[in-house]
Chains A and B, each alone.
Chain A
């Protein structure tokens, strides 16, 4: 698998949290008995919970007839699917060729250093998850990062850290 996500304390705490599986009913209705719908089904599930909870696999399997092994096999094959909860905001640091040549490593290291976590980890307060991604396709603005759906380009280690801190400051106030 591409991104190794490391469990934080927050995840441990979340383990006992009950999730509302009935939220899945509309998407099951939509995709049930449609051929080739495994991926959209999982994508829709992740859209609801931010990740694919263990119980959701069972529930989906029971109501669509797709084997759990098949669902799990697909979910672990593709980088997009998460099996663990993530932080409120996801910081994707682009490590495409152009960004690599322009110093993406420095951006990653600076951000991780500032947040005191490792790649793939979530901050203890559950605010940020930082992960390295292959290419965001904004090569001419390299090096870039993407926070949620917003892309920030032409960064330096310092400016990247500033962006991250600013967002946190803004939301905390």
Chain B
């Protein structure tokens, strides 16, 4: 009989939801009662909306428990681990019986995330048990040549998962063809898109797969050094990466003469970012690694020819590297059997916003946006109306509900004006104002513009000013046209991807939600009732029962009134957060 195994999802979001306390509780009970089950930490299980998650695996199968706190875990240990009777009401996933949440998993195909939430990310042995480092060993044992490795990656159809979608194998080929004693591979883990956490989860949940992917890339192009450029906001990812690197060095998988192959030296180190979105751009990233201000430069020369320290360099994103060992081990067909003609394989998305089941999902390319939102994501919170989905973060755009039956592949998404991006998928409902969303993204890009190109530096500022004006009810006729022409100019006159794509959120919202812009400008109204300058909350006197709930919940104490007396909202203090509106049971708050 195998010992019972208990896994606790301890990625950043799990910890934020209280998973550490649950873990400590389990540890304490285990210690106090001298229980023999095996307790391990694991990464992101993906079911973020049910965090904290605890999985119990015993002889009968696997049981995933969701929304666990210290009290519930005590009950689970008592009934399930000691009493062998699973606590059904807390189970969110099991193979043994159906669960309402099963549709969340049904359409997913886990390749990049194959080990996330299953293995202990801080234990190289577990990674190896699940096929880890087998791909690179296969290359060496069977003496597979770099050309063949590159061909396999080309055949798999893998394209850059950071957003650009450039064929990975081709990138490797260019770097391979550049002749140099010294070459570099870089992993871009500067995941700066607000609303995206795929790379963080991957690095926290399965760091070794990224190291193995990078080593394979190094083998293919002939690199001697690897750099993982990780954003400083991800302390746990950095910590786990460093642990993984240390373990790999001890095993002889990194360092000199690795894998017993004489003369093959390759090592990886982590370079912490310092908070600059533009460093996600490859030339800016390399400048930052070199210790300079992270400003992009003109291409060509491309990094494959002259990259880090002017040496040939291959840069891929975290998810791209995580796919590589799987492809090498299982063959190109195992990967390209998924997806569409031009977009192969799977893509990881961070599903967030006004969605019932937010989390980390990996779906085959070609699945429709609707399927992701409604089948996996369980639809919109509080049964509100689905309005749009934002893809690609500040470089992407909003796709409206009526276009959301399009398949997820690079070309289809680009045809809408959005981009695939790195995988942020933020769902918006009828209460989200699209002008405000455009303003939000421009606020972001304007701050993050490095300042090198005039159109990006000043153009985004002007766009933001116009959008802010419209949101405040100060818009005038001609503003929409001005936004459009300025957007085009910024696109045409910027050097790097940041500037070239910065107007996308504006252009797509104008394209699909022009009426919202017009309502703000002409009628001084926000159709989504979201722009603060254009709305007021008042108490409907006939309906107010004086229950004091609104006054108690108001964060700024703008509501006054005695018990059983009509309440009053002081408009000078009100910050228009809408808490009173949502908390009132008697619909006595008017929003106009």
Please report A residues at the B interface, Cβ cutoff 8 Å. Answer: 1-2, 35-40, 42-43, 70, 73-74, 77-81, 95-103, 105-106, 109-110, 113-114, 133-142, 144, 149-153, 156-158, 160-161
Contacts and interface: CB of A to CB of B under 8 A. Distances in A.
A101 B445 CA distance: 17
Q: Which of A73, A97, A99 is most buried by chain B, counting CB atoms within 10 A of its CB? A: A97
Given A78-B275, A137-B197, A140-B350, 6 more contacts: A35-B290, A78-B273, A100-B194, A101-B353, A137-B196, A138-B13
Contacts of B339: none
Contacts of A97: 193-195, 352-353, 390, 393, 424, 426, 440-441
Given A36-B290, A77-B294, A161-B555, A141 B17 contact: yes
Contacts of B51: 140-141
A113 B479 CA distance: 33
Interface stretch (B143-151, B216-224, B228-236, B250-258): B228-236
A6 B50 CA distance: 39
A33 to B, nearest CB: 13
Given A106-B555, A109-B556, A149 B13 contact: no
A27 B274 CA distance: 18
Given A36-B289, A78-B276, A134-B444, A158 B424 contact: no
A2 B239 CA distance: 26
Interface string B9-20: 000110111000
Contact of A149 (B193, B194, B235, B437): B235
5 contacts: A2-B275, A101-B428, A109-B556, A141-B16, A158-B553
Contacts of A103: 577-578
Nearest to A137: B197
Contacts of A110: 555-556, 575, 577
Contact of A137 (B234, B291, B354): B234
Interface string B291-320: 111100000000000000100000000000
Contact of B276 (A77, A138, A150, A161): A77
B579 A157 contact: yes
A135 B16 contact: no
Q: Which of A105, A138, A144, A150 is most buried by chain B, counting CB atoms within 10 A of its CB? A: A138
A103 B288 CA distance: 33
| Nearest 8 A/B pairs, CB to CB | A157-B555, A97-B195, A140-B48, A79-B275, A96-B194, A38-B291, A78-B274, A151-B16
Contacts of A96: 194-195
A146 B365 CA distance: 35
B343 interface: no
B579 A79 contact: no
Given A2-B448, A106-B579, A38 B292 contact: yes
A101 B354 contact: yes
A110 B573 CA distance: 11
Contacts of B555: 106, 109-110, 113-114, 156-158, 160-161
Interface string B519-557: 000000000000010000000000000000000011110
Contacts of A80: 232, 273-275
A153 B276 contact: no
Contacts of A137: 12-13, 191, 196-197, 200, 233-234
Nearest to B199: A137
Contacts of A99: 194
Interface residues of B, number: 63
B410 interface: no
A99 B358 CA distance: 13
B132 interface: no
A113 B575 contact: yes
Contacts of A95: 194
Nearest to A109: B575
B274 A39 contact: yes
Nearest to B234: A137
B455 interface: no
Interface in B168-218: 191-197, 200
A113 B556 contact: yes
Nearest to B276: A78
Contacts of B556: 109-110, 113, 157
Interface in B490-505: none
Contact of B426 (A2, A38, A98, A105): A98
B277 interface: yes
B432 interface: yes
B180 to A, nearest CB: 17
A130 to B, nearest CB: 14
Given A135-B193, A156-B555, A141 B48 contact: yes
A145 to B, nearest CB: 10
Contacts of A100: 194, 437, 440
A90 to B, nearest CB: 13
B272 interface: yes
B358 A140 contact: yes
A97 B354 CA distance: 11
Contacts of B354: 101-102
Given A137-B233, A157-B555, A78 B294 contact: yes
B291 A36 contact: yes
